[in-house]
Amino acid sequence: MAARRALRALANAPPAAQLWRGASSPCLARPPPLFASRHRETTTSGDAPSGGRRSRGFAAGASSSSSSSDDAREPSLASIRDAILDESDPNYPLGSSPSTRVDEWKHPSGNFSLWLLRRSSAPARREHDARVPVGEGDDADVLACVLSRGDAALERGQYHPEIGAIGMTPCAAAALRTMRADAECFLALPGLCAWVRANERWTDADGLRKPLFGGHSVEELREAMEAAKAIALGVPRPGHSVLGRGTFAAAEPAWTAMASEYLEEDEVVGAERAAFAAALRQVHPTRKLTTEVRHMANADPEYLKDAGGAMVVLKSSDDGGGSRW
């Protein structure tokens, strides 16, 4: 029950309203159009969350409640969300809700699949236009989605603002059931560089003594802080002409520690982590869930500017390596 209360709390984080900014795949040089949209802003009713950040997901009008008589007979988005939350409890069979279903759409290239959460009453379709964001056009009935690559990597997708990140849980669970037990779930950390800049984390002298930095000398950590500052500001280190591989390598202990703190503070990323954690626990209930921040998991130039390449990786494990969550 404690896990269920935690999921409910995270599900009430600021709603998703901005399309994913860039690809999160660690192995995709040219992302599919669905995830290549940059800085496409949409608005939801009400103000943006504190700090000016809008969370990431669907256009506010996509699949929203309607006053038509047909829509009135459909379960509300709030009731669908509550059903998913109930199913996310270990005592419930995830994905058993009669109001929704998960469809797999395989891209013709064979490079990836989308797992789409739809209302059960939605018409079955064999085609999907990956160039159009889900929740719009012919896919206005889609409530959430995740993306899988083969049987080893799963990535966050999009979700309706009235359902929240927890809408990705049944999608992720359906995908994970077809994947290896050690499949990894990747979550982006958009806004990490801006957060480091705003808080000037490179000036955190106490950070040099944090347990996250274990195994490094003070000199190495000071170099890491200087390199992290360069990454956050997007400028070369003093004495260097470019912001290159050496800077990113030197920054690793500082940057991963900063990313770990950001993960704990950012409500949107926290809600997305909870959604994938719920799916992993349902599909692999006897295995240990681990979370880690992986340095340079995505070297896409735009993502480097936004998050320094760091990503959150969740997976189930037999040995329990990494951080428990």
- What is the tens place of the pLDDT at every residue in 277-306? 999 999 999 999 999 999 999 999 999 999
Rounded distance, CA 283 to CA 46, Å?
A: 36
The reported pTM is 0.75
323-324/113-119 β-pairing: unpaired
Rounded distance, CA 135 to CA 188, Å?
A: 21
> In a 3-state reduction of DSSP, which class is residue 185?
strand
> In a 3-state reduction of DSSP, which class is residue 231?
helix
Retrieve residue 24's tokens. 């999160």
Give me the pLDDT at residue 207, please.
58
Task: Compute CA 84 distance to the chain's CA centroid, rounded to the nearest angstrom.
Answer: 18
Inform me whether the pLDDT recorded for 117 exceeds 70.
yes
200, 178 Cβ separation under 8 angstroms: no
Rounded distance, CA 318 to CA 182, Å?
A: 9
Higher pLDDT, 136 or 207: 136
59, 253 Cβ separation under 8 angstroms: no
